[in-house]
Amino acid sequence: MKTYLSKYTNYIVFLILLLILIVIKIINPSFVKSVSYLSFDLYQKVFVKKKESDVVIVDIDEKSLGKFGQFPWNRTVFAKILDQLNTSNPKAIGFDIFFTEKDKQSPEAIIKSYNLIPSDTSKLQNLKGPDEIFAEKLKETKSIIAVLGSNIPSHTNYDRKAKARFLSKGGEPKNFTYSYPHSIGSLEILEKNVKGLGSISFLDQLDGIIRSLPLVVKLDNKLYPTMGLEMVRVGSKQKNIYIELNEIGIQRISARPYKIDTDPNAIIWIQYKKSSKNQYISASDVYEGNFNNEFFKDKYVLIGASAQGLFDLVKTPLGKTIPGVEVHANVIENIIDKSYLIRNPNTYLFELLFSLIIALATFILSQKIKPKLSLSIFFGNILLIVIIGFYTYRFRSELVDISYPIFIVTLTFLVGLYFRFIEENKIALLNLQKEAKLLKERELAANVQKSLFPDISKFENFIFAKNVPARDVSGDYFDVVRSNKEEYFFTLADVSGKGIKAGMYMAKASSIFRTLTNLKFPLEKIVYGVNNELVEAKFKGMFVTAVFGKLNIVTGEMVFINAGHESILIFDKNKKYDYIKSDMPPIGIVKYFTESMVKSSSINIKDKTFVVYTDGVTEGYLKNGEELGAEGVQNIISDINDITPKNIVEGIEEKLNWGAEKLRDDITCMAINIENTDLIKK
């Protein structure tokens, strides 16, 4: 069990982390909502629309305040504005304003303010007050006044009722709508004379941005439509609002001919268009009649404030601050052209499932494939999330949260990378340990191999050879064995391949050669024996190119065999160069059945120098990056004044072993000249 947990710790930790992230998403605390809002706002900023509107806003702006004075104004001002608007026959007129107190210029307010006695106020009492005048104008128009949900009871005892009649199918809407225990509205005389009462209640947002609002709310246990929906109902000359429900809540709200799909709590998400100054007209201009009648004809008219001092400004997902009345204008437009946004439970479930699947895929792939590729998978998954989110918004008007899935995928990917880093570190540490052990073994093998090379220094007057390995262990070999005072066996060989395996193969060949030469066998029999032993050794795919020889230092007679090796270089005192090519294949490939299969050659080198080397010499790199070649060997020899075997070999080595970090191949060279056959005494 302990081993299992240790093996799959990364997956267990990941699954726990993923479970925590999913649970957090299900609980959906405020900070998670804030993350989701980032993507919802981004959609609107990317696809912001600029279009003509069916809604006109009569603006209580700085210009109007300058004309009519401090707000609130006398109700006769609004009465005059209504008179002017009615000449253009708008579809509906909505007030995003409360008229909660009696007009301060009403007869009652003037009598009370100046402490007038009844005998002095008889004519004044018979005058119509501004509220009455305004109420009459409201009755003559298709007007809607705002109501607002409140947790505190208002000072009036007026029993307010919605103007719209609600019809429901499939359940009781009050069980699902947002609810306020009380409502705030305008004077009873005004509300009694309007065609509609519309809620201007917004949902509380932590960042103050208005993204959504309920189309229907419950105030004081009564249902009210939002301002935008009530405007559409009145403008369409409908009395009823239809609410369809299913088992999870409200599904659809209709004010013929418009049908609006909502979430279970009757909420729609507003799609904002780009603000346009052409949609606004100053209240003072309407009052004065300074407008074209076509400007309001068959339009929805909202009366609200943009003046800074009236504090009716809100933030939108577009990153702009707009008057609150423009929010209701956008709601009306969304209902009319069905451009509102959808955020339903099925989308929420899809986000959870999709986040789970893509996080699993990202983590598992990060553990299985190379880090570079896993990075591509990560960015590919992020791109997939973004494409799905933008596609569903653009073509289905649905809000899919991409921020939290991106957060989940990023976090799980980083966790995956962390565990991958830990795992790679472990592997790297093990590899370092293995490399250190292997290096030690190679150093040991190199030391063992060096012990196999003969001490050539005693023969260096007439036979000299040297091996410079390209790596720790060389695949080249040379040997000199004294048979008697006058005769010497020698060999120089190159094993195919490099490294420890080549070194082992070389050691096998050298041991056989030394054993057979000590038995004083003829050269042909020695080569015959070495070949067959190597074939039997079964070093798969390996062979040896070699030059074998037997030299009489008194007579100068040499018998030699070139088994697939580089051409042998012979030159005289005048430095006339000749090459003797190989006339046999390498040894260790096929078994010899008789000694007659081994072909030897003879030469007298009394006045000549015999040079043999491996391909590491001719193919070795010079400082200028070119290969030395056979001609390069000749040039080195030509530059030597005192021709001795040692000078030749060391001259070649010096030219090739010039300080490069790594040699191209092992450098092995042997030279024989019997002009001086004295053994060096030690």
Q: pLDDT per residue over 485-526, tens digit each?
A: 999 999 999 988 776 777 778 888 888 998 899 888 999 999
Question: What's the CA gap between 316 and 95, in Å, rounded?
Answer: 21
Domain limits, the chain: 2-36+352-426, 50-337, 453-672
The tens digit of pLDDT for each residue in 177-189 reads 999 999 999 999 9
pLDDT the model gives residue 567 = 93
Tokens 């990317």 — which residue? 46
Buried b (16+ CB within 10 A) or exposed e, 564-594: bbbbbbbbeeeeebeebebebebbbbeebee
Tell me the average pLDDT across 137-163. Answer: 88
Q: Is the pLDDT of residue 441 over 70?
A: no
pLDDT the model gives residue 41 = 93
* 245: β partners: 250
Residue type, 594: T
Q: What's the alpha-carbon Rg for the chain, to the nearest Å?
A: 51
Buried b (16+ CB within 10 A) or exposed e, 256-287: eebebebbbbbbbbbbbbebeeebbbbbbbbb
pLDDT the model gives residue 100 = 86
Q: Is the pLDDT of residue 190 over 90?
A: yes
The tens digit of pLDDT for each residue in 309-338 reads 777 889 999 999 999 999 999 999 999 999
**303/664: higher pLDDT:** 303
Q: Is the pLDDT of residue 224 over 90?
A: yes
Q: Is the pLDDT of residue 616 over 80?
A: yes
Q: Are 216 and 177 in contact (CB under 8 A)?
A: yes
Q: Is the pLDDT of residue 622 over 80?
A: yes
CATH of the structural domain 453-672, one choice from 3.60.40.10, 3.40.50.300, 3.40.1190.20, 3.30.360.10:
3.60.40.10
Tell me the average pLDDT across 572-581. Answer: 92
